[in-house]
Structure 1
Amino acid sequence: MHATAERPIDRFFASYSADHQHPTNQLIHVFAVPAILWSVVALLWCIPVFGTLFKTGVWAALAMFGAWMFYYRLSRPIGFGMLAAFFFMGCLCRLLQAEYGLGGLFKLAVGVFVVAWIAQFIGHSKLFEGKKPSFFTDLTYLLIGPIWVLAKFYRKMGWKY
């Protein structure tokens, strides 16, 4: 299918792209958006689990599953790509927790979150884009950013989404 505004994913990407025209802002997003996504996963990973039924990371797993369902409904290829990304992020959280403890993972996630958001706002400042971030209009765009970056990768690889 040719990328038109017919599918919801194409409408989301067209709107998101309109707010991300400057090449420097786009480059910032390619690094900052995945960093923010990982940091949110890691922060959810750190939420305590009470009882013995579940282990650390269950809140992150539930959030990743919910987001994955949203992505898979928009596009199966994007859904599978995000499944791989979420699997990687979960494994990274588990490895970092094993190495540095839950407190260390939490501190790292907070640091990455803050630095990546500062980069995002610099990209949207008058220095570069000069437009407010898309999620100021609709919070759904907090979920669109990661797949917009993934779709850029798909296009570079010649893959359809």
Structure 2
Amino acid sequence: MIHNISLVHVLLVLAALACIGLVVREMLWPHVTQGWLFAPGLAAAVVAGGLFLIQIVAGRPLWPFAAAAAIGLLIGLVRGLTIPLTHDSYHTVALISRRASIVLVAVGVLVGICVGLEIFGAFDSPLHEKVRLWAALSAVVCAVAMLVRALTLAIRIMNRA
């Protein structure tokens, strides 16, 4: 460990980069299959899970994370229901609007920022504990919102097929 930085932080950076790469892929190629809808959310869930575990080991209570998950659930549900969706019956793909893809990229970048804040906070642990907590809570909101958005869109696609 170098200044409280561990291998977990390296894995979080890799997962955040994967999340950002996957949301950029969705923006550049708007024809998305149902399986690819879940990929960015799963990468974000790895980040959120890692940040969650770091905070739980540090002795934080569970209720703020449950509240963050509930907020993410609500955001993801609303986002998944309001995204304009065009369905291609022949290839079971969805055409997601450019605006919705840009919002998803912003959420993916926010997940990366959460990892950056965690690493920054790990250098001066006592001084930046609140920053690390808020980064973990934000990552949980983003990950749950991305997964619920994907699930809602997948259900909408299946109902149209």
- The TM-score, its normalising length taken from structure 1, stands at 0.33
The structure that is strand-richer by fraction is: 2
Bigger relative contact order (CA 8 A; separation at least 6):
2
- The TM-score, its normalising length taken from structure 2, stands at 0.33
